[in-house]
Structure 1
Amino acid sequence: MTTDRHGHRMTDTGAEALEHYEHALDDLLFFRPDVARHAQAALAAAPGSVMGQVLAAYLGVLGTEEKDAAAARKAFGRFRTGFDEAAATRRERMHLAAATAWLDGDLHGAGRVLDDLNIAYPRDALALFAGHQRDFLTGDAARLRDRIGGALGAWNRDDRHHGPLLGMYAFGLEETGHYERAEEAGLAALAQHPHDVWSIHGVAHTYEMRGRFADGIRFLDDRSREWSAGTFLTVHTWWHYALYALERGDTARVLEIYDAAIHHESSAPVAMELLDAAALLWRLHLVGDDQSARWARLADAWESRQDGAHYAFNDVHAVMAYVGSGRLAQAERLVRDRQSWVAEAAPGVTNHAMTADIGLPVCRALIAFGRQEYARAADLLLPLRHRLHTFGGSHAQRDAVQRTLVESALRAGRTELARTLLSERIQLRPVCPYNWSAQARLEEQLGRADRAADARERAAAQAAGRG
């Protein structure tokens, strides 16, 4: 029987298919678009390859694209109907169970199977990658860290896949607040593979969360050849670059990046890229920067997708685009559609709880914000602020919603709430120009001109890199 590079047996997988599978796995770990081509070639060479079929199934769900997931579910179902699982290895059967659960919409069930798989087979890179992405999509920061941390001890540092795993670990460390350790791990991963864009991404997050915007810009500039084109993370990394520029008050640079790299006429309507565009424009919207023409183009892109209920995190960003473009009726239609789906969907589908508990209240709050019903927006968001992670994304991504709560409190004149929220934010992230600018507005509302001036001065100093 064929075995992969780490000694795992591969049922019904010949030498040619194995070569394509290994190429595909490399492409996946390094976020290269060639992964699809090599995965298809592996199945063309060995249609009965269990791991080839599993890889194709995971590729169908990782992008949170409803149509891709539906196609993958259909193809995987055909394979499983004619396959005798007794012929598969224990590891392969666990992968079959995890992929089936995920395709059926049960991300938590898939995660539990992958937990067991990672314990039994800690050198299964595909299982670790799939689990890591599942943890990210469900906002499970502790697992995002510990799934990889628990396996790293079984890997040799000279293994080609050790670096990408270390980069995954860096992101998990960052999402659980271990910023210095995360930076250290990410830079160590990049010392092994400078083109590892997930590691670049993890380190970029650490600079964002610590207010090291100038360092973040220098870091990305120094590695622009590795990340700025031709990867699945290109747009998202440009989004991080734009966040640095935004905190430094360089709106012109933000819009230059937006138009050149984040969303333009040639942009594909890919959910993970459209949500970056929406999250960036929404931050500008919150500070009163009108980008109506850009909002209109972005809302058109979201509307062209005709998405059903698949991933609540995407729905929230679609609603941002509809509200930002003034298409409140379209936003409300999406909410009504998701309400109907929640009433009918099986509770075992993970997106059911994501939509009912987080997605719908956030969407309603965004619509209320668009209608200038700021007190209602605050009331809708306040109970969610410590549970937002349960519908996925990173701290940096979810901060657009947290800032909406701050802005709603300020505009509603809810000064006690605004004071509490801003105190929380400033204690956690003392270097953040937005926090201090918002604090200045709160002090003005309270009639404390001297404190407002001090807060504005601190915001300006931090934007200039002096704070």
Structure 2
Amino acid sequence: MSNSEHASRADGCCRLWPDVNTHFLSLKGLPPDAVPRTAAQQVLHPLLVGFDAIAGCELKEFYRFKMYLQRLPEAPVACPELIQVVAAFRCWVDFDYSGARALFIAHLQEYPGDVLTVFFVHMLDFCTGKTCDLVDVFEICDSSVDATHPLSSFYLGIKSFVLCERVEFEQARVLGLQAVAQRPDNIYAIHGVVHALHEQQQWAALCEFLEGCKDNWAFNPGMRMHIYWHLAIAYLMSSQYELSTATFREFYALKDFRYAKQDLDAVGFLWRLKLQNLEDRQFDELWQDLSILWSGSIGTSTSHFHNMHAAFAFAAADRPLLIDKLIAESDGFGIEPATQQVGVDVLNAIAFFARGAYAECYQILAASQSVWLRLGGSRAQRELLMKTMNMAQKMMPSHQPRVRLVNAL
């Protein structure tokens, strides 16, 4: 086998449909003209669609994807690059997350240049609160994904975000900027830079960066709302209140349709805003709408990170009974035991906050702070819990004991 042939084989799934890779890893979904022409592509196409769906952690999407996977034979095609990937997805939809991850890792050990599969593992880690663990994948893949690799920018973008979650903020920023320099429209690399700047509290630099490259992210269907969320927060933290709320209204208007499940960033911004002034009623009507929209997720999500946002919406709408129902329906199905415990603790804390029982809220959040990362999401998104805990502490009667805090998100 020649060196070029070996390199192609080492790229695994990435070599099966090169025209789709950059579009998909740019978080634009699948190109509308992406028609499978080979047996491998006929399997890969629904794999990508199914993966994209289950990353939302909705039970219905798990079962929809599982039905497709059940129809595949054990060896789906005469294509070795797909065998372990399909097996990994079968574990994932069976909620065997560790089994899925082990199969993805085994695949990458054989195909260390497969950036597409690196992204699969990364999103599995993100959903299960293990984002930082991806460093073991980098140890496998670094030597095979150098600057000449066609998907190098996307690999660096993923790496940037993971390093940021590992509190290596400056290195994350540098890698993210390298990735953006290679491919300016790589929104996940832009995302990595923004998270690093957020963690470094460089709000002016964050605004300048996003304003300077807006054409490269503001039209991306997969992530534009989230990047707008970062910009709105940066304006808020820069005391540019009017610009911040205007940016929020701009990104919330980008929902695909009214009932689209795209309300997480709206809650993430508005709850921050509410904690600055609990008496502010400017968005009360929207909070009522959000509480209705989030009520459909009760009992349907495998993510306590999503449940946390639902609970904040219920709290802001003064509907603590919906938080109680959310807790009652959170029986741990599809959720790892350690995550289930911290998730229910957090939901209980938010329920106490909604009822004005601030001491109880504070005590629960302070006790669980060191394991919040199990919920998934990012440090920047989990800041909602820190800010809620700080507000609960502020609202507590002065005689309540204070718990020594650990700086962990």
TM-score, normalised to structure 1's length? Answer: 0.78
The correspondence of residues 271-282 of structure 1 with structure 2, limited to 5 A, is 271=261, 273-282=262-271
Partner letter of residue 401 of structure 1? L
The correspondence of residues 313-332 of structure 1 with structure 2, limited to 5 A, is 313-332=305-324
Deviation digits for residues 361-395 of structure 1 (CA, Å, limit 9, x no counterpart): 11111111011100111122122101011120110
Contact 1:50 1:88 in 2 (8 A): no
Q: 2:385 aligns to what SS in structure 1? A: helix
Contact 2:21 2:116 in 1 (8 A): yes
Please report how far the alpha carbon of residue 413 of structure 1 lies from its aligned counterpart in structure 2 after TM superposition.
Answer: 3.8
Contact 1:148 1:165 in 2 (8 A): no
Tell me if 1:26 matches 2:22: yes
Please report how far the alpha carbon of residue 51 of structure 1 lies from its aligned counterpart in structure 2 after TM superposition.
Answer: 3.5
Contact 1:10 1:51 in 2 (8 A): no
Contact 2:11 2:113 in 1 (8 A): no
Please report how far the alpha carbon of residue 166 of structure 1 lies from its aligned counterpart in structure 2 after TM superposition.
Answer: 0.8
1:154 equivalent in structure 2: 144
Contact 1:4 1:22 in 2 (8 A): no
Deviation digits for residues 154-192 of structure 1 (CA, Å, limit 9, x no counterpart): 123122201110111111111111111111111111111
Change in Cα spacing, 1:48 to 1:281, as seen in structure 2 (3 Å) is closer
Please report how far the alpha carbon of residue 300 of structure 1 lies from its aligned counterpart in structure 2 after TM superposition.
Answer: 2.3
Tell me if 1:220 matches 2:222: no
Contact 1:319 1:363 in 2 (8 A): yes
Inter-partner Cα distance in structure 2 for 1:107 and 1:404: 30
Please report how far the alpha carbon of residue 8 of structure 1 lies from its aligned counterpart in structure 2 after TM superposition.
Answer: 6.0
Inter-partner Cα distance in structure 2 for 1:109 and 1:388: 23
Tell me if 1:285 matches 2:274: yes
Contact 1:282 1:324 in 2 (8 A): yes
The correspondence of residues 248-287 of structure 1 with structure 2, limited to 5 A, is 248-262=238-252, 267=257, 269-271=259-261, 273-287=262-276
1:385 equivalent in structure 2: 369
Inter-partner Cα distance in structure 2 for 1:109 and 1:265: 35
| Identity between Structure 1 and Structure 2 (%) | 23
Aligned partner (choices 47, 52, 71) of residue 64 of structure 2: 71
Tell me if 1:370 matches 2:354: yes
Change in Cα spacing, 1:415 to 1:394, as seen in structure 2 (3 Å) is farther
Please report how far the alpha carbon of residue 332 of structure 1 lies from its aligned counterpart in structure 2 after TM superposition.
Answer: 1.5
Change in Cα spacing, 1:230 to 1:258, as seen in structure 2 (3 Å) is same
Equivalent residue pairs, number: 401
Inter-partner Cα distance in structure 1 for 2:202 and 2:76: 54
Contact 2:115 2:154 in 1 (8 A): no
Deviation digits for residues 263-301 of structure 1 (CA, Å, limit 9, x no counterpart): 577645444x31111111111222223331221122222
Contact 1:279 1:397 in 2 (8 A): yes
1:437 equivalent in structure 2: none
Tell me if 1:128 matches 2:107: no
Partner letter of residue 394 of structure 1? S
Inter-partner Cα distance in structure 1 for 2:92 and 2:302: 12
2:302 equivalent in structure 1: 310
The correspondence of residues 42-121 of structure 1 with structure 2, limited to 5 A, is 42=36, 46=39, 49-79=42-72, 83-85=73-75, 88-121=78-111
Please report how far the alpha carbon of residue 409 of structure 1 lies from its aligned counterpart in structure 2 after TM superposition.
Answer: 1.8
Deviation digits for residues 250-272 of structure 1 (CA, Å, limit 9, x no counterpart): 2222221221113577645444x
1:192 equivalent in structure 2: 182
Contact 1:9 1:89 in 2 (8 A): no
Please report how far the alpha carbon of residue 88 of structure 1 lies from its aligned counterpart in structure 2 after TM superposition.
Answer: 4.5
Inter-partner Cα distance in structure 2 for 1:269 and 1:22: 34
Inter-partner Cα distance in structure 2 for 1:86 and 1:370: 51
1:142 equivalent in structure 2: 132
Please report how far the alpha carbon of residue 304 of structure 1 lies from its aligned counterpart in structure 2 after TM superposition.
Answer: 4.6
Specify the structure having the higher radius of gyration (Cα).
1
Inter-partner Cα distance in structure 2 for 1:86 and 1:67: 24
1:462 equivalent in structure 2: none
Partner letter of residue 269 of structure 2? L
Inter-partner Cα distance in structure 1 for 2:205 and 2:308: 31
Let me know the Cα RMSD of the aligned residues.
2.9
Partner letter of residue 315 of structure 2? V
Structure (1 or 2) with the greater helix fraction: 1
Contact 2:88 2:101 in 1 (8 A): yes
1:353 equivalent in structure 2: 337
Change in Cα spacing, 1:47 to 1:116, as seen in structure 2 (3 Å) is closer
Partner letter of residue 308 of structure 2? V
Inter-partner Cα distance in structure 1 for 2:252 and 2:41: 39
Contact 2:127 2:303 in 1 (8 A): no
Q: 2:144 aligns to what SS in structure 1? A: coil
Please report how far the alpha carbon of residue 68 of structure 1 lies from its aligned counterpart in structure 2 after TM superposition.
Answer: 2.5
Inter-partner Cα distance in structure 1 for 2:160 and 2:10: 26
Please report how far the alpha carbon of residue 64 of structure 1 lies from its aligned counterpart in structure 2 after TM superposition.
Answer: 2.5
Instruction: Give the gaps of 5 or more residues in structure 1.
Output: 430-467
Q: 1:386 aligns to what SS in structure 2? A: helix
2:235 equivalent in structure 1: 245
1:395 equivalent in structure 2: 379
1:204 equivalent in structure 2: 194
Contact 2:271 2:312 in 1 (8 A): yes
Change in Cα spacing, 1:64 to 1:119, as seen in structure 2 (3 Å) is same
2:286 equivalent in structure 1: 294
Inter-partner Cα distance in structure 1 for 2:33 and 2:163: 31
Instruction: Give the gaps of 5 or more residues in structure 2.
Output: none
Please report how far the alpha carbon of residue 403 of structure 1 lies from its aligned counterpart in structure 2 after TM superposition.
Answer: 1.5
Inter-partner Cα distance in structure 1 for 2:173 and 2:236: 22
Inter-partner Cα distance in structure 2 for 1:91 and 1:329: 49
Change in Cα spacing, 1:258 to 1:401, as seen in structure 2 (3 Å) is same
1:230 equivalent in structure 2: 220
Contact 2:12 2:111 in 1 (8 A): no
Inter-partner Cα distance in structure 2 for 1:119 and 1:265: 39
Change in Cα spacing, 1:143 to 1:382, as seen in structure 2 (3 Å) is same
